[in-house]
Structure 1
Amino acid sequence: MALRPVMVNVKALDAAEVGRFWAQALDWSAYGAGETTYVGPAGGLVWPDPVVLGIDVVPVPEPKSASKNRVHLDLATTSAAHQDELIARLKTLGATPADVGQGDVPWTVLADPEGNEFCVLEPREIYRDTGPVAAVVVDCADPRAMARFWGEATDWTVHEVADDHASLRSAKGTGPYLEFLRTPDPKTVPDRLHLDLLPYPGDDKAAEVARLRTLGAADLDVGQGDVPWTCLTDPEGHEFCVLAH
């Protein structure tokens, strides 16, 4: 048994507007799905997408706090010219420069229209085939422990594990990476972004949730009430959801 990451959940005051931003930023399409806005590759809605992680923008009444998000997206580029062009285009779409203490680095930190930080990376060979989203990056205290948990929780393959950094990717070798970076700042507020996982057809969702608990996941009550998905936290308190088919 294993779960597959299927999308990044983004909380927003204006889900439609933030969804439009990310659709234009990634050259994808925004699809209305009730109150939420799902962003995925152009050409018609396919869910779950077999390659990419979609972005599901969910309306919430609370604005983003002043704290830096502990989960963010890294965007891939193919050349220095592409990086410059993408940064300029993102600013015209409503992105703003963000200072998270990065200093003099070859990537650029921006924020979406509601302040969610993300990075536009310089060209890197490892991300040449990921698509527009290079990685979902998670700040944590112990990348090794996070790699163990998420490697057992999902069907993704652990690629690299070190004291300061760990990464996973789909066993198919497609789509973005899931990366864990050691950071000194503790988690103080709920994540504005989190991963949603889905069982494979025929697998039992309740059994998968029980398995996650044995790995170190904890139940989470965010006032969700009686819903078909289950809210949990990983061993460092990052929220995630297990969806139902």
Structure 2
Amino acid sequence: MTNVVPVGLTYPDPTVLYIDVVAVPEPKTVKNRVHIDLATTSAAHQADLVARLQELGATPVDVGQGDVPWTVLADPEGNEFCVLEPRPVYRDTGPIAAVVVDCVNPRVMARFWGEAMDWTSHEVTDDHAVLRSAKGVGPYLEFLRTPGVKTVKNRVHLDLRPYAGDDQAAEADRLRTLGATDIDLGQGDAPWTVLADPEGNEFCVLTPR
């Protein structure tokens, strides 16, 4: 496993999205239902970032986006992500603008994840929902209504860590009352709890730190 965090980071930092890269035996077979959007500050920044990412091994990918102002790329293992055009809403998010989740019902997902993480809803419609930390900092969590349903284990998922002093088992129970269900991914006797949200997206409840 590899952790990707900014240089000099002091944990915890509500403005930062931590990324863990974990080796798994399963190859990617379908479009990911969870992906990352990267923010840019100008057209020149967007072009430079796309060029730098391609030099690092990213490739352009067509997921049916058509003629859009953002650029869709895939990392070396085919995981899709977007480099967005400059948008005022993402001006203060840092390099990661949002984690985006394809779903059937954005309203249900926003209700669950808003209560699960105590995040604030910024917009909720039948087609999309937008959440952000109640502190008003860091990336957004967005749900987009898309055709199709989840068929395989997600290659990108969220990990939730209870607040310091909280009880992991009690937090997992609270999430179950909100609609989460237990799921077995072969994790065995792991120190974290694996659950699924109302649309079957896997996530982990870690031990407090």
Query: TM exceeds 0.5?
Result: yes
Provide the secondary structure at the position in 2 that maps to 1:163: coil
Q: Which residue of 2 aligns with 1:189?
A: 152
Could you tell me how far apart the structure 1 residues matched to 2:147 and 2:15 are? Answer: 33
- Aligned counterpart in structure 1 of residue 17 of structure 2, from 28, 53, 75: 53
Could you tell me how far apart the structure 1 residues matched to 2:118 and 2:74 are? Answer: 31
**Where do 5+ consecutive residues of structure 2 fail to align?**
none
Q: For each residue in 1:44-86, what CA deviation from the matched residue of structure 2 results, as whole angstroms up to 9, or x when unmatched? A: x533433211100111112211x10000000000011110110
- Aligned counterpart in structure 2 of residue 64 of structure 1, from 4, 28, 31: 28
Q: Does 1:42 align with 2:24?
A: no
Alignment of 1:106-185 (within 5 A): 106-185=69-148
Q: Which residue of 1 aligns with 2:195?
A: 232
Q: Which has the higher strand share?
A: 1
Alignment of 1:22-41 (within 5 A): 36-41=1-6
Greater relative contact order, per chain length (Cα 8 Å cut-off, separation 6+): 1
Q: For each residue in 1:161-206, what CA deviation from the matched residue of structure 2 results, as whole angstroms up to 9, or x when unmatched? A: 0110101111111110000000012111110000000100111111
Could you tell me how far apart the structure 1 residues matched to 2:145 and 2:60 are? Answer: 23
Could you tell me how far apart the structure 2 residues matched to 1:113 and 1:48 are? Answer: 29
Identity of aligned residues (%): 77
Residue 156 of structure 1: CA displacement? 1.3
Could you tell me how far apart the structure 2 residues matched to 1:158 and 1:42 are? Answer: 30
**Where do 5+ consecutive residues of structure 1 fail to align?**
1-35
Q: Which residue of 2 aligns with 1:100?
A: 63
Residue 226 of structure 1: CA displacement? 0.6
Does structure 1 retain, via aligned residues, the 8 Å contact 2:94–2:139?
yes
Does structure 1 retain, via aligned residues, the 8 Å contact 2:14–2:137?
no
Query: Which contiguous aligned blocks of 4+ residues in structure 1 show a shift greater than 2 angstroms?
Result: 45-50
**Aligned pairs, number:** 208
Provide the secondary structure at the position in 1 that maps to 2:200: coil
Could you tell me how far apart the structure 2 residues matched to 1:144 and 1:41 are? Answer: 33
Which has the larger displacement, 54-63 or 137-146?
54-63
